Amino acid sequence: MKLARRPRRVFAQLLLSQTVVTVGVTAVTAGLFLAPVSSELDHDAMQRALSIAQATATDENIARAAAGRDVVAAQRNAEQIRLATGASFVVVTDLDGIRLSHTDPGRIGQRVSTDPEPALSGRSVTAIQQGTLGRTARGKVPLRMADGRIVGEVSVGISDDSIRRRLLKMLTGILLCAGAGLAAGTLATLLLARRLKRRTHNIALADISALLVEREAMLHGIREGMVALDEHGRIRLANDEAFRLLGLPEDCAGRPIGAVLPPGRLADVLAGRIAGADLPAVRDDRVLVVNRTATPEGGAVVTLRDRTELESLVRELDTTRSLTEALRAQDHEHANRMHTLLGLLELGRHEQAVAFISEQSGSHAVVAARIAEQVQDPHVAALLAGKSAVAGERGVRLALAPAAHLPDAVVDARALVTVLGNLIDNAVDALAAGGGGRVEVSLAAAGPTLLLQVADSGPGVPEELREQVFEEGWSSKDAPAHRPRGLGLAMVRRLVERTGGRIVLDTGPLGGARFTVELPEALLTTQLVEA
């Protein structure tokens, strides 16, 4: 039975190396040099083979020869490249892996001895492999036509003998270097060992590689965004999810947060200018939850969670709750109306009962008909009808301006519903908290540009706060336990500005706040002309 070997610590490994060097085991020292050199030579040979293969694959004549299975043209061009580059072989195959060229013409027409599928599937491959010509360093690339269609592969090999000859030429120099470093290494090893013991926390040497592999797997596997910052606030690394959520450029590494993100709450949270846990922020149309943890070296690690879908569900839940409360109030009001109707019938006042029913049933139909007449887009009309009913149950009157008109020519009804719905919700919430009032919505088309206004009769917004209300996280209302506030107007503004529009807050004719939104290219001009 073989016992598991205890992992060597970095400190112990270096001390052992010092002992070996002290005793003069030059062979071990040379071996330590030769191992990476041999690997590096293999790597260089594979990269050289890959470079030759890539250059060969750009030859349109070879691609056409492979597509047409023209053995003569493929062999001629491949041999020219082989002789010019000094490669051991340059093999061109078709899509079935059948050789169209080879240094041994007798092997043309046979299937290659190694698996051609990785290259035929579009991947470049480097490897040390055993083939018909012996052990070689190989580079394989897909062979493509000008339109990008793969028609075969190009395989280039560098002979193992040439690699070993280079290694032998370097052996003398390596041994001289080993001898020269023998004296200095004895003293330096102990100093370096002590330093590494502190820096690596005395972990096992094999664990360092494992930790790096695990770190890469975790960074790219987790579904949360992660950004690591150095002590100067520059980005050290970011995982795939962070690139997606933040829209980071590919060259963001080494750049400060302010250079890759626009000014705002999100940049302030990532830079540490705003502290706290689970801080909400907005990036384009995404709602993010950000946490920042400082590191002992003075940097920080920032994690980001995408809360967009959850925020949408929470808003739908809030809307459902509001509708439930409205339906409960309507049920209570309906019961009162039924009692009134029953009383009129019991008193024998049938005409008054008929008039009462007609009045009650006609009021909602009149409102819906008026909205449908002025707003021809079905999505916006349905939104206004639903918001009108909910607002009415909360003691707020929601009405369209007399001159309001919206044709059925909206380019992005979903975005318009988001903008208009958020503005109406904010106005209704403000008035319902103060005991009721009036909200007026105005819609107007000016060519392809849509102008909309939402005004209320509430207390309004002080002039010094009219820019602050659009900031992420700012709200005049207490946040409920299930979600943060201060995101609705921030999302509206970003959505409007992303389409090239603008949003302005001032005092309206009803005495309260008035939001004016201009959305260019929001309407289809062809349908406007037909209308």
Whether 529 has a pLDDT exceeding 60, the answer reads no
Given the DSSP bridges, would you call strands 125-131 and 235-238 parallel, antiparallel or unpaired? unpaired
For position 456, what pLDDT does the model report? 92
For position 142, what pLDDT does the model report? 92
Q: How far is CA 64 from the centre of its chain?
A: 40
Residue type, 365: A
For position 6, what pLDDT does the model report? 45
Determine what percent of the chain is predicted with pLDDT higher than 70: 72
In 111-208, DSSP assigns E strands to 125-131, 134-144, 150-159
Segment 414-420 mean pLDDT: 84
Compute the distance between CA of residue 157 and CA of residue 50 in angstroms, rounded to an integer: 9
Q: At what angle do helices 10-22 and 160-199 cross, to 10 degrees?
A: 120
**CA angle at residue 25 from 24 to 26, to 5 degrees?**
90
Question: Rounded to the nearest 5°, which phi and psi values hold at 88?
Answer: -70, -40
Compute the distance between CA of residue 107 and CA of residue 37 in angstroms, rounded to an integer: 34
Compute the distance between CA of residue 510 and CA of residue 137 in angstroms, rounded to an integer: 81
Listed residue (269, 350, 260, 344) closest to 302, CA to CA: 269
**Which band of pLDDT confidence, cut at 50, 70 and 90, is reported for residue 355?**
confident
Question: Rounded to the nearest 5°, which phi and psi values hold at 515?
Answer: -100, 125
Segment 69-81 mean pLDDT: 89
Tell me which residue has tokens 């709602």.
287
Rounded to a whole number, what is the distance in angstroms from the first to the last CA of the chain? 89
**Which band of pLDDT confidence, cut at 50, 70 and 90, is reported for residue 298?**
confident
Least reliable range by pLDDT among 223-227, 288-292, 360-364: 360-364
Least reliable range by pLDDT among 134-148, 281-295, 325-339, 450-464: 325-339
pLDDT digits (tens, 9 = 90+) for 174-232: 667 666 666 666 666 667 667 766 666 666 656 666 777 777 777 777 778 888 898 88
Question: Rounded to the nearest 5°, which phi and psi values hold at 12?
Answer: -65, -35
Q: What is the DSSP string of 16-53?
A: HHHHHHHTT-HHHHHHHHHHHHHHHHHHHHHHHHHHHH
Question: Rounded to the nearest 5°, which phi and psi values hold at 284?
Answer: 55, -120
For position 320, what pLDDT does the model report? 62
3-class secondary structure, 445: strand
Whether 32 has a pLDDT exceeding 50, the answer reads yes
For position 343, what pLDDT does the model report? 79
Whether 454 has a pLDDT exceeding 90, the answer reads yes
Token pair belonging to 217: 């797997």
3-class secondary structure, 242: helix
For position 482, what pLDDT does the model report? 44
Compute the distance between CA of residue 134 and CA of residue 502 in angstroms, rounded to an integer: 70
Residue type, 123: R
Whether 520 has a pLDDT exceeding 60, the answer reads yes
Q: Would you put residue 340 in left (φ > 0), alpha (ψ -120 to 50) or beta?
A: alpha
Whether 7 has a pLDDT exceeding 70, the answer reads no
Domains along the chain?
7-166 (3.30.450.20), 210-306 (3.30.450.20), 373-519 (3.30.565.10)
Whether 271 has a pLDDT exceeding 70, the answer reads yes
Q: Would you say 7 and 207 are in contact if contact means Cβ atoms under 8 Å apart?
A: yes
The overall average pLDDT reported for the chain is: 78
Whether 363 has a pLDDT exceeding 60, the answer reads no
Query: Count of CB atoms within 10 A of residue 235's CB?
Result: 21
Whether 416 has a pLDDT exceeding 80, the answer reads yes
For position 476, what pLDDT does the model report? 56
Q: Which residues of 387-415 are buried (b: 16+ CB within 10 A; e: fewer)?
A: bbbbbbbbebebbbeeebbbbbbbeeeeb
Q: Would you say 21 and 182 are in contact if contact means Cβ atoms under 8 Å apart?
A: yes
Compute the distance between CA of residue 342 and CA of residue 353 in angstroms, rounded to an integer: 8
Whether 243 has a pLDDT exceeding 80, the answer reads yes
Compute the distance between CA of residue 308 and CA of residue 60 in angstroms, rounded to an integer: 49
Q: At what angle do helices 71-85 and 26-57 cross, to 10 degrees?
A: 140
Least reliable range by pLDDT among 158-162, 365-369, 389-393, 459-463: 365-369
The stretches of 87-136 forming alpha helices (DSSP H) are 117-120
Compute the distance between CA of residue 513 and CA of residue 73 in angstroms, rounded to an integer: 78
In this prediction the pTM is: 0.44
Q: How is residue 230 annotated by DSSP?
A: -
**Which band of pLDDT confidence, cut at 50, 70 and 90, is reported for residue 247?**
confident
In 251-366, DSSP assigns E strands to 279-283, 286-294, 300-306
* Helix (DSSP H) and strand (DSSP E) numbers for the chain: 16, 14
**Which band of pLDDT confidence, cut at 50, 70 and 90, is reported for residue 153?**
very high
Q: Would you say 288 and 281 are in contact if contact means Cβ atoms under 8 Å apart?
A: yes
pLDDT digits (tens, 9 = 90+) for 97-107: 899 998 888 88
Q: Would you say 208 and 201 are in contact if contact means Cβ atoms under 8 Å apart?
A: no
pLDDT digits (tens, 9 = 90+) for 42-52: 788 888 889 99
State the sign of the Cα–Cα–Cα–Cα dihedral 26, 31, 36, 42. Answer: positive
Segment 124-151 mean pLDDT: 86
